[in-house]
Structure 1
Amino acid sequence: MEISKSDISLLYPNQESLSEKYLSDSSSEYRRAAVTQLELDVMFDMPSDMIADFFTTDREVIKYRQETFSDLAQVPEICDVLRRMIPMLQDIAELRRMGGDFSSEGEGYLYSVAEAEIYISVLDMLREGLLPHAEKFSSRAMSAFADRIRELTESDDAKELNERLSELGSKVREIRSVTIGVNLDSRLKPEDAGVLSINNQRFKSGELLDRILRLDFKSGEMTCIAPLTPLRKNQSENEQTAMSNAFSSAIANVFHSSVRQWKKIVQAYVLDNTDFLLRMMPEIEFVTKSVKLLTRLKDRGCNLTTPEICAAEDKRFEADSLINPVIALKVEGELVPNDFAFDDNGMIFVITGPNRGGKSVITCAVGHAFIMAQLGLPVCADKAAISPCDNVFTHFPTGSEDTVDKGRLGEECARLNEIFVGVTDKSLVLLDESLSSTGSFEGSYIAAEVLAGFSMAGCRGIFSTHLHDLAASVPSINERCAATGGVKIDNLSADIADGKRSFRIVRRTPDGKSYARDIAEKYGLSFENITQTLNRKKGL
């Protein structure tokens, strides 16, 4: 079903996909955790909940968003307009809250006037900043949005609203004070009160006590005969509320006919037409911050490509010259790209190599590419083809308080078990230095069992580890799982060139001793170097 005019969306192409966004999803907590552990919330400058909520597995939704971001990239001025809208829409939302069920009729009138003024300002901003670029739009989202704004700004209702707003709004803006008449009883205590007038000038504080005693009333009708006293001074909360309600009621009585006419206009026009803008506010925030991020990545020298979105059943992931965007924005210097692909000979990879050699960087880069692609964004690569995953599971080092009760190894195993509860053959699993809290023998044994389990689940995955024995056991794990239809596991290694980290990831079974040997030779700690040092000391 096509989306209605009142439900225009920058991110969802039809009513069904828009409705699905609001359905509860028990797996969303895993996505939120992945967003946080991959530092995407920091990179986007958005809450992890918002990023996780916009994650989608629907190919058509992804393609719809790709169109939207393509338009915004072609016309970057639009993002400035949308960005300026956000605080204005936030003001409308706050006015709605303040003008709710607990406000008086007078307050509701004031809030509705203010809301209408902001609404007209938003329309004016969009008419001037969006519509002149409408012919450049090719995306369904931006074209529909422009059509809707054109319809609203050119309608007779908008013209009537502007006229009425000018008339009634001026009345509100001119209010500066209220003159109150108070009847006193025989003991000079207030008996009842009424509004004498609503004024367009403020009252001024009178002079000192002698003027009160002389009852000097000749200093002007807007000048009090005593100093002005703050309204809330020495009043309880109930007294303050009563006073505020009294003033609001007075204003409502004065503007009674205007209030009724105004409410009809607001309900018939403003409320309905601001609803769709308020619903779009999270989307507007998401797309503007996303475009800002893409601009930063371009300025950093990252190539961005719109990925081909493949069928989920194909389980494809191919990326040429993949870059980790978080690292790109954090670290200065040359970026080292890597090609990466899952295929029939490797749906799960074990990555080994030296510390700080790029294992974690490429592991996270793959996660970044999946999530950015499934948000509808370009990814940091020269070329990419991606089959959406149904969820991203991460198992990274954590300072969880569970370690107090379970110990670190127990906590790690418990989190791994949670992943197995939710994982499917369409999932992506990223493990970084998992099971590093125990010895090499125990860690390698448990890790081999875990890898076999993920092989049987049929998911795509990466296990970045310092456990070189695990890499050596990959053939035996494959042999074990082949009989029951498990996907294949393969090895990747962080490459070493001339004894130095190259940050290149190559597909090969690593030699666990090679890097240690290079380090030993570099620092003169090989047996040959040590022998030469000792012989020199002896004068040999």
Structure 2
Amino acid sequence: MKLENFSLLYPDSQTQRDHLAGVNVPDIDMYTLQELGMLEIFNPQSTPLSDFFTSDPAVISYRNQTFSDMLCNPALTETLHRLVPVLQDITELRRLENDIAGEDTASYLASMTEIELYITCVDILHKGMKEVRGNLHGAAFRRLADCVTELAESDYYAELNRKLSELTRRVREIRSVTIGVNLDAQLRPAQAGVLSINAQPFKSGDVLDKILRLNLKGDEYTCIANLVPFGKKQSENQKTALSLAFNSAINDVYRSSLRSWKKIVQGYVLENTDFLLGLLPEIEFVVKGTQLQESLRARGCTLCEPDLRPMDERVFVADRLYNPAVALKLPEGETIVPNSIAFDTTPENAMIYVLTGPNRGGKSVITCAVGLCQVMLQLGMFLPADTCRISPADGIYTHFPTGADDTIDKGRLGEECTRLGEIFDAVTADSLVLLDESLSSTGSFEASYIAAEVLMGLCRVGCRCLFSTHLHELAAEIDRINAQSAAEGGARVDTLVAGIEGEGKRSFVIKRAKPDGKSYARDIASRYGLTYEGILQRIGKEKR
């Protein structure tokens, strides 16, 4: 087994190469993630989240197994947490090595430190994997555990440890160097050489002190004068010259060790260290992704393994779906209202839904919930629902209210139409489209006309779409749109309503029904005392 072929996120090297080449990579950008609220709850720092998306069923299933092992074995998260700072130390060490390139002694010490850090990494992984090996079911961590065990128990690894201990001892025992200096006629240093490398430090002293202790020969590490701190009263040139002379002497002494050590470093260790450093983005992804899912579970929210269907089935059927971003923001003790929704081509369901209802009745929440569920699927996570039968999408396209700068030039309606046009430039039958209060910048007559045209276009495309809108008049157009769509072989549209309970209280329950715009108007009028009866009370007159 070779570590360099291992990935926490891809089942084999071919799928990873395909991903890097853009194969099976959906069109889900950071702007879409921001609109959906994903970046508020999950936003890796080392690599943009958009780089992790996949539509490959094999990759999604592989990641599901990886997250399952992480969620079932908290010790795995602890192991990876311990590993990350060591890998970051290696990264910093390599940066420093670039600054000392050419200095053999410094390079020697740096490479030795890197090997120590590498061995620390292997030891952390070996200990952590050994504790949970019997509880692992996913291919990723089982393979990592077997690979690390094979490495840590190999003869080569034992020899590496032995060699490192030997060289470390030789270096770390050095406490001083005895230098012989030849002087010229003016008593200036002319030549210098290393007499010995010592395991004891020199101490300050003077001649009188040695005489009084009557130990002139047996105390060779006590100087006959006080020790002077290196560099004191020296110019920078003098300091540099002395350092170079010292390093040159040390290099001569350790030249053979340096050659043999570099063969070890270059022949094996650097390759495996590079591999571990390359895993850092994947480690951050799985650790933070696991923390997100654990946070949802701690709130009492359910997570389900996806019933993954082929992309061309274009299905999204979720039971008791909820918005994870909203669930994590609720005050302690409050629970989010889940809703069920089904996008498919069966006669009882539809591919496109128009969702209406009162303001703050849950329309935007469920719209984002659908998007976040699709996002979590294509990151390889478990899904925020009791059950979910779902196909990957080749892209997620959103159109939410915005204060974009180009509204100054185009006007709000022009900007909205431009963004909708860009969606049609990219969307396919396998895409997911989410529209939240689109066309809210113009009057209901113009907005309803444009919205009906947009729906007709989406029907022709045949994609999954949820259109959350205040345009209750649009419901009157649904039968006409469906008749034309059926004649042209397009998808079917149906309506959803965000419900209200008695006295205008919002239930946040989404129901399959036709909208009743007057009921929402009555709710608003009653809330603000603008019914006829309420107005009479305000002006102090009774109805006659």
Superposition TM-score, scaled by structure 1 size: 0.86
* Other-structure match for 1:135: 134
Provide, for residues 504-525 of structure 1, a one-character-per-residue CA deviation record: whole Å limited to 9, x for no partner.
1111121112112023234432
Residue type of the alignment partner of 1:379: L
Aligned equivalents of 2:236, 2:448: Cα separation in 1? 71
> CA contact under 8 A between 2:201 and 2:221: conserved in structure 1?
no
The correspondence of residues 380-391 of structure 1 with structure 2, limited to 5 A, is: 380-391=384-395
Q: Deviations over 1:50-77 (max 9, x none)?
A: 4222211111111122222222222221
Tell me the secondary structure at the aligned position of residue 401 of structure 1.
Answer: coil
Q: Is the 8 A contact 2:499 2:507 kept in 1?
A: yes
> Which residue number corresponds to residue 347 of structure 1?
351
Unaligned runs of at least 5 residues, structure 1: 208-217
Correspondence for 2:20:
22
How far apart, CA to CA, are the structure 1 residues paired with 2:2 and 2:23?
Answer: 25
Report the counterpart of residue 468 of structure 2 in structure 1: 464
Partner of 2:212: none
The corresponding residue for 1:327 is 326
Residue 393 (structure 1) shift: 1.5
Task: State the alpha-carbon separation in 1 of the partners of residues 25 and 417 from structure 2.
Answer: 19
Shift of 1:118: 0.9
- Pairing of 1:5-404 with structure 2 (within 5 A): 5-24=3-22, 30-47=28-45, 49-100=47-98, 103-104=101-102, 105-174=104-173, 221=223, 229=231, 251-332=250-331, 333-344=334-345, 345-404=349-408
Aligned partners of 2:205 and 2:223 also within 8 Å: no
Q: In structure 1, what is the equivalent of residue 506 of structure 2?
A: 501
Asked if the contact 2:460–2:488 (Cα under 8 Å) also holds between the matched residues in 1, the reply is yes
Aligned partners of 2:439 and 2:451 also within 8 Å: yes
The aligned residue for residue 492 of structure 1 is 496
Cα drift, residue 416 of structure 1:
2.2
Q: Which amino acid aligns with 1:322?
A: L
The whole-number CA distance in structure 2 between the counterparts of 1:243 and 1:492 is 82
Alpha carbons of 1:98 and 1:514: their partners in 2 closer, same or farther (altered >3 Å)? Answer: same
User: Which residue of 2 is the match for residue 482 of structure 1?
Assistant: 486
Is the Cα–Cα contact under 8 Å of residues 28 and 53 in structure 1 kept in the other structure?
A: no
Closer, same or farther: CA 465–168 of 1 in aligned 2, 3 Å: same
In the other structure, the counterpart of 2:214 is none
Is the contact made by 2:55 and 2:393 (CA closer than 8 Å) also made in structure 1?
yes
Residue type of the alignment partner of 1:65: R
Number of residue pairs the alignment of both structures matches: 524
Q: Does 1:434 align with 2:433?
A: no
Report the CA distance shift for 1:177/1:365 in structure 2 as closer, same or farther (over 3 A).
farther
Aligned to 1:511: 516
CA drift at 1:174: 4.6
1:415 aligns with 2:415: no
- CA drift of 1:222 comes to 10
Q: Which runs of 5+ in 2 are unaligned?
A: 207-219
Write out per-residue CA displacement over residues 354-381 of structure 1, whole angstroms, 9 at most, x where no aligned residue: 1111111101111111111122211111
Retained in 1: the 8 A contact 2:125–2:148?
yes
User: Quick one: structure 1 residues 180 and 425, their matched pair in 2 at CA, closer, same or farther if it must change by over 3 Å?
Assistant: farther
Q: CA RMSD in A?
A: 3.4
Judge conservation of contact 1:41–1:48 (CA < 8 Å) in 2.
no
Contact 2:42/2:289, CA 8 A, preserved across alignment: yes
1:215 counterpart residue number: none
Deviation at 1:36, TM superposition (A): 2.3
Number of the residue aligned with 2:210:
none
Q: Per-residue deviation at 1:443?
A: 2.6
- Corresponding position of 1:213: none
TM-score, normalised with respect to structure 2: 0.86
2-side partners of 1:307 and 1:476: how far apart? 35
Cα 1:40–1:221, aligned 2, differ >3 Å: closer, same or farther? farther
Q: Distance in 1 between matches of 2:505 and 2:16?
A: 51
Aligned 8 A contact 1:206 1:226 in 2: no
